[in-house]
């Protein structure tokens, strides 16, 4: 993927799952990576195992505090040019609306929605000034189709797709590229780390995600779409890949299917 050769790519959620697979493939493609997640020691281990580890840097941030994270990043990065921002960090949910505390909804929004906005706003002025840059957000099929047990996650992902659509429209004349990636079921630890009604982690697998495509394949398809400068792409297989299409053309059918699951 020559598109990434020599580019500085800031990748959040880089320590596991889709983000880790992206980091490995981007490093192989010749990108210079800024790796972000919460734990610096884990990121250092990731960096050390990437191709050309000396090219990459670690920037640990807690995106559950978006404004503080953005301020810390601004200080750490200074005038460094960011060619591509990939907003990949996120947390999912597995709890009924009746059983979910308000603070859990707020945590989902802080990480999955406001975190994207905070980092995007940080890099946006320089990109517009340079008339060059690519902003990517890894949303979800859950941002197009609402399902059970994911009300807060769905809300955040629906919101971030709307934000990206607005960003694309506002920067159309500025030379920027804006891409939304919508993964379906991906075989990662996302279910284990999903928040339950009280905010604790689920700590067990989800049959839907366990049956999905690998993180490596998801990263490959996603990076291919980014390199092609696509506006929006659904990544996955089976029903999760078809769901946004069905939602558009047969919404009643989708509602009935979801209610029965």
CB of 164 closer than 8 Å to CB of 180: yes
Residue with tokens 């610096």: 40
Where b means 16+ CB within 10 Å and e means fewer, 214-237 reads: ebebbbbbbbebbbeeeebbbbbe
Q: How far is CA 87 from CA 34, 127, 136, 189, in A?
A: 12, 16, 6, 18
Closest by CA to 190, choosing from 230, 142, 234, is: 142
- DSSP code per residue over 7-46: -EEEEESTTSHHHHHHHHHHHHTTPEEEEESS-HHHHHHH
User: Quick one: 103 exposed, middle or buried, by C-beta within 10 A (0-12, 13-18, 19+)?
Assistant: exposed
Q: To 10 degrees, what angle do helices 238-249 and 251-260 make?
A: 130
d(CA 255, CA 261): 10
Residues 6+ apart with CB under 8 A from 69: 61, 62, 63, 115, 118, 119
Q: Which of 3, 105, 113, 153 is catalytic?
A: 153
Q: Is residue 3 among the annotated active site residues?
A: no
Positions annotated as catalytic residues are 153
């Amino acid at each position: 993927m020559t598109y990434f050769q020599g580019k500085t790519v800031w990748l959040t959620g880089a320590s596991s799952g889709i983000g880790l697979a992206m980091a490995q493939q981007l490093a192989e493609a010749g990108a210079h990576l800024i790796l972000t997640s919460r734990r610096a020691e884990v990121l250092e281990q990731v960096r050390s195992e990437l191709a050309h580890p000396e090219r990459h840097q670690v920037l640990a941030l807690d995106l559950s505090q978006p404004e503080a994270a953005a301020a810390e990043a601004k200080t750490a990065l200074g005038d460094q040019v960011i060619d591509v921002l990939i907003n990949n960090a996120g947390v999912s949910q597995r709890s009924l609306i009746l059983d979910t505390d308000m603070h859990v909804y707020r945590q989902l929004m802080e990480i999955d929605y406001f975190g994207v906005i905070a980092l995007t706003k940080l890099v946006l002025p320089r990109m517009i000034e340079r008339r060059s840059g690519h902003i990517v957000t890894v949303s979800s099929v859950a941002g197009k189709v609402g399902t059970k047990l994911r009300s807060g996650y769905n809300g955040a992902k629906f919101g971030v797709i709307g934000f990206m659509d607005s960003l694309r429209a506002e920067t159309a004349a500025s030379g920027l590229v804006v891409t939304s990636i919508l993964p379906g079921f991906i075989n990662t630890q996302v279910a284990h780390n999903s928040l339950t009604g009280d905010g604790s982690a689920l700590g067990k697998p989800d049959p839907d995600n366990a049956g999905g495509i690998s993180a490596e394949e998801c990263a490959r398809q996603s990076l291919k779409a980014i390199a092609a400068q696509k506006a929006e792409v659904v990544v996955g297989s089976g029903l999760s890949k078809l769901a946004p299409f069905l939602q558009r053309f047969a919404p009643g059918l989708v509602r009935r299917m979801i209610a029965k699951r």
